[in-house]
Amino acid sequence: MYCVLKIYTMKCRSCGFENNDKAKYCTKCGVPLDQPPEPQVPKESNNSKYIIIALVVMIIVLAGSLAFFAYNMNSNHVENDNVSQNNSAQQAQDSGSGSDDVKTQQVSSSQAESKSWQSIGRYSGSGSGSQTINVPSGKIMVKLSAYPIKNYATNHLYVKGSNGAGGGVDWGSHSDVETRSDSFEYTSSSDQTFTIDYYETVSWEVEFFRYQ
């Protein structure tokens, strides 16, 4: 009869060798069997190194860009301040040199505002006829009006100048018997001769004005 003996072993946690259960150290690697094996620290991969290098490069580039931007902003600010100071000085100089021109313009404006239409001749009459008058040069305005004799179709008042300027009023056979008026303006550098022609009027009036 055979007897089978069961031998207990202890597996090394470091190398996996099976040792006698009473052994204190691994027969193969010498590591104590009653202590857990030291954890293996994985080696850093090459990819991690590349990532760290790339991050460092990006940080350096970003810092350089920020420094360059800040320098340009400061330079532009100083340049703009100098330009503003030069513009202010130039404006002050122009303002001082142009004071006489401003005064001249103000005087001219005052003179222009003081001008108005001034009467230079007033003529009136009745019936039929004509008369000639002389009108001085300048900017001239003529106002005229007339009232006709009743039941005449040829009643009129016409004013015409040697320069072609003119105006007038007339009535037809069926027109109302009423006062009619007209006016016109012209500008001439020389004196002009005007003819006032009137026919079958109860009254008429012509007045000349010059802008002065």
Banded pLDDT at 21 (limits 50, 70, 90): confident
CATH homologous superfamily for 116-211? Galactose-binding domain-like (2.60.120.260)
Q: For position 25, what pLDDT does the model report?
A: 86
- Residues 10-14: contacts with CB within 8 Å, 24+ apart? 13/37
Tokens of 91: 């404006």
Nearest to 139 by CA among 109, 118, 110: 118
What residues have CB less than 8 Å from 189, skipping those under 6 apart? 137
Cα 124 to Cα 119: distance, rounded to the nearest angstrom = 14
Nearest to 134 by CA among 203, 56, 42, 196: 196
Residue with the larger pLDDT of the pair 30 and 76: 30
| Domain ranges within the chain, ordered by starting residue | 116-211
Tokens of 196: 């006032």
pLDDT digits (tens, 9 = 90+) for 74-113: 766 656 666 666 666 666 566 555 555 555 566 555 565 6
